[in-house]
């Protein structure tokens, strides 16, 4: 099939290039007309915390759409107190242009809010004042002009920091864009240099780069087109670029190298294209399938932004494979022997078969397989041990670099202003079939509020039955059984803000961070409560954090198991063996464990935090899923490319050891070169300022380096030497099935010298 496809592309090379140009045009159109990427906060609405939040929105704020947004300004002085007239005058002068700005609907400051609320607008040392600026537009629109609004401020003798909803969202978007540009500026030149060293030809080196750029454009266009129909994470473009650049260059590297080898062996241009696609083309197709299978693990996490990233990753991998099977062979058909133009002297000399460092290394390993295998596996297991201390928590503003102004302002709020270091957990008491304000229900709410107030780390409780400490249980029952119009104004306001047709809200305030174990324990305690005729729900930032972590942990076994099973089937279809797929899956799990251990050691425990410029923190629950999905797929990428070449040589020689040695000799240099290129791409993303992108880049670079060295050079040949001919074994019914499907490696073509 691949041989016939190669000849088809060769004979219709110009038409294929035209079709590729049309595909590029469609990709550009997808970028121009695509949808808008969402933040990650809109995901998780179907979790328990999300359902409780919907209940509040439906009953407490029916029909009210949140259209506005806001930012916080922190004014400070080294010499003046915020209560000094000079400080107040400077703040009012600074804010005067904003009061005339039609985009600003309201401004709250310590000097305009009621006296009872003034303390929360002044810092603990009285040197700073908080101002909240309300915008008429939603956050996404306000991000387009917030910097211009901030530029209108004239702080005079004061210093000012802008933070809050709009500046923080804008900071994430701009930082991600800067991370992407930086990664591209770093990765592309280094990749080109490595390709020149691998091919010893500038023309040959430029081909994978061109396919990589096309794949990125196609992947980004497909992702933005997908965003028109569903929520797609703001991290998706970075991940698409990271995956697309890596796999497209990887695949092109193998196709171009095989084409050059066939031409050097005397093949005609058409035969060289046909053989390249029937071997390397077939391998990259299976590799693309395995990478897509790995990425499909993220599709099991519907309701989180992981599903959109899995779909976006699959799109760019598919685009890379399509260009690798169409545009690249068509271009090679046109270029022909000119692919070796602009060669560099002293590089790229061909060695005779059975020579070279890779052949010698394979033979050395296979002479002492157990001596090599046991220590290699031990190193990988040891490297993975920090993963046993993994702690998952949703990333927050601390994902931004400490030098970012919005991050600095947020840190200042939490550290210096009263109440901002506190977390509120909202308990929702739902009476689905009744009135929440009957005497019995009010009495039960009174008792519940006292039990919740007694929980560890709860500072105080806010509810309709906690308004006046002097009122008893019976007093509250009596008051709420009468007409609401006769209640004191404070109670009427509390009913309006905290009671719906069927629900009552109880706020639990703690001074523990919202991702802390103590805050999570409060959420679990709330959900464990029992109230007659009602169910007790919990929402808020801590509840969402806990639900997302638990959801990911619950879905991980089925996601991982499904990926392993489908990958096993795909590798069986590739090799016709039931042993090699099992070996591949197990060895890949070892390399993944090493990268996971490194991730915890670096980002959670804080090693290298000064060097890499981030704040040590718990691991975002999405990172292990993303790493597993990409690393498993990429590791299988090398497995497919290596095993395909080993199988080709084994069928030619009938000797397992010779097949392993020659296969590693012919593909080892390319795999190492491809791994070096991927590591360069991934390390370029490790320069990112957003921690989640930095962690993915570092984790992938470590995983690929481990996979291309310890796994491919040491573990694979030693295991295949121990297994011998059993490597290629399959039961007779499966051998018959494999033969019927006809996906076996194409026979080698014997070329007459040109």
List Cα–Cα distances, 476 to 437, 466, 471, 482, in angstroms. Answer: 10, 9, 7, 10
Q: How confident is the model at residue 354 (pLDDT cuts 50, 70, 90)?
A: low
Interatomic CA distance for residues 129 and 605, integer angstroms = 35
Are 125 and 23 members of one domain? no
Residues 333 and 210 in one domain: yes
For 177-201, how does the pLDDT look when each residue is reduced to its tens digit (9 = 90+)? 888 888 888 888 888 888 888 878 8
Domain C-terminal end among 533, 563, 585: 533
> In this predicted structure, what is the pLDDT of residue 64?
47
* Residue 245 sits in the same domain as residue 136: no
**Which run of H or E residues covers position 163?**
strand 159-163
Are residues 523 and 554 located together in one domain of the fold? no
Contacts by 318-321, CB closer than 8 A, 24 or more apart: 318/288, 318/292, 319/27, 319/214, 319/215, 319/218, 319/219, 319/222, 319/244, 319/248, 320/211, 320/215, 320/219, 320/244, 320/247, 320/248, 320/251, 320/288, 321/251, 321/284, 321/285, 321/288
pLDDT for 71: 94
Question: Would 405 be classed as within a structural domain?
Answer: no
List pLDDT tens digits, range 501-511: 899 999 999 99
**Which CATH number do you get for residue 682?**
1.20.1640.10
Instruction: Report DSSP letters for 672-696, one per residue.
Output: HHHHHHHHHHHHHHHT-SSHHHHHH
The C-alpha atoms of residue 166 and residue 39 are separated, in whole angstroms, by 12
The CATH number covering residue 110 comes to 3.30.70.100
CB atoms within 10 A of CB 47: 20
Mean pLDDT (whole number) for 612-628: 88
pLDDT for 748 equals 45
Structural domain including 662 reads 2-40+200-398+546-741
Residues 218 and 356 in one domain: yes
Select the more confidently predicted residue: 262 or 36: 262
Query: Has residue 753 got a pLDDT over 50?
Result: no
Render pLDDT for 120-129 as a digit per residue (tens, 0 to 9): 899 998 899 9
Domain identity same for 459 and 555: no
Q: What would the mean pLDDT of 607-611 be, rounded to a whole number?
A: 87
Assess if residue 76 is contained within a domain: yes
Using 50, 70 and 90 to split pLDDT, how confident is the model at 752?
very low
Tell which of 533, 561, 585 closes a domain.
Answer: 533
pTM beyond 0.85: no
Question: What is the chain's mean pLDDT, rounded?
Answer: 85
- Pair (383, 449) in one structural domain: no
| 291 closest CA partner among 635, 709, 573 | 635
661 and 605 part of one domain: yes
In a domain, 636, yes or no: yes
pLDDT at 647: 79
Tell me, yes or no, whether 703 lies in a domain. yes
**1-57 confidence digits (pLDDT tens):** 888 888 888 888 899 999 999 999 998 988 888 777 765 545 566 788 989 988 988
State whether 714 and 604 are in the same domain. yes
CB 219 within 8 A of CB 316: yes
**Does the residue 310 lie in any domain?**
yes
In a domain, 511, yes or no: yes
Is there a single domain that holds both residue 136 and residue 213? no
- Share above pLDDT 70 across residues of the chain, in percent, rounded to a whole number: 94
Q: Is residue 642 part of a domain?
A: yes
Are 572 and 705 part of one and the same domain? yes
Q: In the chain, how many domains are there?
A: 3
Radius of gyration of the chain (CA): 31
460 and 577: one domain?
no
Tell which of 118, 146, 169 closes a domain: 169
389 lies in some domain? yes
């Amino acid at each position: 099939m691949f041989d016939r496809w190669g000849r088809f592309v060769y004979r219709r090379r110009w038409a294929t290039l035209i079709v590729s140009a049309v595909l590029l045009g469609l990709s550009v159109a997808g970028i121009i007309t695509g949808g808008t990427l969402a933040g990650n906060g809109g995901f998780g609405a179907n979790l328990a915390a999300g359902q409780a939040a919907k209940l509040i929105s439906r009953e407490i704020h029916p029909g009210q759409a949140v259209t506005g947004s806001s930012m916080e300004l922190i004014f400070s002085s080294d010499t003046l107190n915020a209560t000094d007239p000079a400080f107040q005058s400077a703040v009012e002068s600074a804010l005067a242009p904003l009061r005339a700005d039609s985009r600003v609907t309201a401004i709250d400051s310590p000097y305009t809010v009621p006296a009872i609320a003034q303390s929360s607008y002044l810092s603990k040392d009285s040197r700073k004042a908080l101002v909240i600026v309300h915008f008429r537009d939603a956050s996404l629109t306000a991000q387009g002009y917030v910097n211009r609004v901030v530029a209108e401020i004239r702080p005079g003798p004061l210093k000012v920091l802008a933070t809050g909803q709009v500046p923080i969202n804008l900071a994430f978007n701009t930082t991600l864009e800067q991370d992407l540009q930086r990664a591209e500026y770093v990765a592309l030149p280094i990749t080109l240099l490595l390709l020149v060293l691998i091919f010893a030809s500038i023309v040959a080196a430029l081909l994978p780069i061109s396919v990589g750029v096309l794949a990125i454009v196609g992947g980004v266009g497909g992702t933005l087109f997908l965003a028109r129909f569903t929520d797609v994470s703001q991290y998706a473009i970075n991940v698409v670029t990271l995956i697309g650049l890596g796999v497209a260059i990887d695949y092109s590297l193998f196709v171009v190298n095989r084409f050059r080898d066939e031409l050097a062996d005397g093949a005609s241009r058409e035969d060289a294209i046909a053989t390249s696609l029937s071997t390397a083309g077939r391998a990259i197709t299976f590799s693309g399938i395995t990478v897509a299978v790995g990425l499909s693990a993220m599709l099991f996490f519907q309701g989180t932004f992981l599903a959109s990233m899995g779909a976006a990753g699959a799109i760019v991998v598919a685009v890379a494979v399509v260009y690798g099977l169409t545009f690249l062979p068509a271009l090679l058909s046109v270029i022909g022997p000119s692919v070796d133009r602009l060669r560099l002297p002293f590089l790229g000399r061909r060695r005779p078969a059975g020579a070279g460092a890779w052949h010698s290394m394979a033979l050395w390993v296979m002479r002492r397989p157990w001596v090599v295998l046991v220590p290699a596996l031990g190193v990988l297991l040891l490297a993975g041990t920090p993963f046993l201390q993994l702690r998952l928590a949703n990333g927050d503003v601390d994902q931004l670099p400490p030098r970012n102004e919005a991050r600095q302002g947020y840190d200042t709020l939490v550290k210096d202003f009263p109440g901002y270091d506190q977390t509120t957990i909202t308990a929702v008491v739902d009476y689905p079939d009744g009135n929440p304000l009957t005497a019995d229900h009010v009495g039960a709410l009174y008792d519940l509020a006292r039990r919740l107030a007694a929980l560890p780390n709860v500072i105080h409780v806010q509810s309709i039955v906690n308004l006046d400490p002097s009122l008893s249980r019976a007093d509250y029952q009596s008051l709420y059984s009468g007409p609401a119009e006769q209640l004191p104004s404070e109670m009427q306001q509390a009913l309006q803000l905290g009671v719906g047709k069927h629900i009552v809200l109880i706020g639990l305030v703690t001074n523990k961070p919202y991702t802390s174990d103590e805050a999570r324990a409060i959420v679990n305690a709330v959900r464990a409560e029992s109230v007659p005729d009602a169910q007790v729900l919990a929402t808020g930032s801590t509840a969402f954090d806990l639900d997302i972590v638990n959801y990911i942990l619950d879905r991980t076994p089925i996601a991982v198991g499904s990926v392993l099973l489908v990958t096993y089937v795909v590798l069986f279809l590739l090799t016709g063996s039931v042993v090699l797929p099992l070996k591949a899956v197990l060895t890949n799990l070892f390399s993944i464990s090493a990268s996971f251990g490194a991730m915890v050691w670096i980002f959670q425990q804080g090693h290298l935090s000064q060097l890499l410029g981030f704040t040590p923190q718990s691991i975002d629950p999405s990172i292990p899923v993303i790493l597993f999905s990409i690393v498993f797929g990429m590791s299988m990428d090398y497995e497919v490319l290596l095993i395909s070449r080993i199988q080709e040589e084994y069928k030619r020689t009938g000797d397992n050891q010779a097949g392993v040695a020659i296969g590693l000799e012919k593909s080892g240099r390319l795999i190492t070169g491809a791994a070096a290129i991927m590591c360069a791409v991934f390390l370029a993303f490790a320069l990112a300022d957003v921690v989640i992108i930095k962690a993915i880049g570092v984790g992938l670079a470590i995983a690929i380096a481990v996979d291309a060295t310890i796994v491919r050079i040491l573990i694979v040949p030693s295991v295949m030497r121990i297994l011998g001919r059993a490597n290629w074994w399959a039961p007779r019914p499966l051998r018959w099935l494999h033969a019927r499907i006809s996906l076996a490696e194409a026979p080698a073509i014997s070329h007459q010298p040109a």
